[in-house]
């Protein structure tokens, strides 16, 4: 690879494409005008500004990281400055401590408990104000969601609800226990793009896309 390419600032956000809500995240990023990449193998981490670990089944994604031998590549990319955002199952994988289980990636000093709200039938929607993310309340979708029970001193809590933390971050990692990709709101995807250095901090974007529909992401699934 030439020196020019090596010095090029990363301008792509990848979505870990092993299992879970991959297409929905890709759809939201593209609405922001962000270049995207499906991440399935080691070389897919090259030159990424950020990577999203989507919601899905955390133990399944953890096993697939080992089966496809890409966990070390993800960790190395993070060491080099790649930002990572984990939603729901992704947050579990990034946690330093998981109640009753061994940690997977351990990249953010939080203690998390899976399925804290109960079964699939206990899934729900609500809204909350996250001042660092948007100036108005944003919709939140919880599906068999975990709860963040504790956060270390170097972790910035973005959203606390009742007795648990719903969103938090450190320098390189963002975690949310809900699913921002399942609503028309692009505020958190914009926030992550800012964290990755791809959008100016003071840029102005609408928080919701009036053209978004629940089926919008299916156009990406058809060309997967």
Report the run of H or E that residue 6 belongs to, with start and end. helix 3-6
Active site residue 169: no
More confidently predicted of 199 and 149: 149
Of 51, 88, 104, 196, catalytic: 88
- Rounded to 10 degrees, the C-alpha dihedral 189/29/121/64 comes to -110
Of 23, 25, 28, 179, catalytic: 179
Active site residue 196: no
223 by DSSP, 3-state: which? coil
Active site residue 23: no
CATH architecture, domain 3-222: 3-Layer(aba) Sandwich (3.40)
Residue in this structure with the two tokens 């901090």, named with its chain if needed: 201
In this prediction, residue 203 carries a pLDDT of: 67
Which H, E and C letters describe 184-211, residue by residue?
CECHHHHHHHHHCCCCCCCCCCCCECCC
pLDDT by residue (tens digit) across 107-137? 999 999 988 776 666 688 999 999 999 999 9
pTM above threshold 0.85: yes
Rg (CA), the chain: 16
Residues 30 and 5 sit within 8 Å (Cβ to Cβ) = no
Of 24, 113, 169, 181, catalytic: 181
Exposure string for 39-56, b = 16+ CB within 10 A, e = fewer: beeeebbebbbbbbbbbb
Task: Write out the two tokens for 42.
Answer: 């080691």
| Bridge partners of residue 141, in order along the sequence | 125
Work out the percent of the chain whose per-residue pLDDT is above 70. Answer: 86
Is pLDDT at 46 greater than 60 in this prediction?
yes
């Amino acid at each position: 690879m030439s020196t020019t390419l090596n010095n090029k600032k990363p301008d792509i956000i990848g979505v870990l494409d092993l299992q879970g809500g991959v297409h929905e995240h890709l759809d939201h990023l593209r609405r922001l005008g962000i270049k995207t990449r499906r991440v399935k193998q080691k070389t897919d981490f090259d030159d990424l500004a950020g990577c999203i670990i989507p919601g899905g089944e955390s133990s399944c994604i953890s096993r697939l990281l080992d089966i496809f031998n890409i966990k070390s590549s993800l960790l190395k990319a993070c060491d080099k400055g790649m930002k990572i955002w984990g939603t729901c199952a992704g947050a579990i994988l990034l946690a330093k401590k998981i109640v009753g289980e061994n940690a997977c990636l351990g990249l953010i000093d939080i203690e998390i408990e899976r399925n804290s709200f109960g079964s699939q039938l206990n899934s729900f929607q609500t809204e909350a104000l996250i001042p660092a993310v948007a100036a108005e309340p944003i919709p939140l979708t919880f599906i068999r969601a975990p709860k963040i029970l504790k956060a270390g001193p170097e972790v910035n809590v973005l959203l606390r609800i009742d007795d648990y933390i719903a969103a938090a971050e450190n320098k390189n990692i963002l975690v949310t226990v809900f699913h921002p990709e399942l609503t028309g709101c692009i505020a958190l995807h914009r926030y992550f793009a800012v964290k990755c250095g791809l959008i100016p901090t003071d840029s102005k974007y609408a928080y919701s896309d009036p053209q978004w529909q629940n089926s919008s992401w299916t156009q990406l699934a058809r060309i997967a």
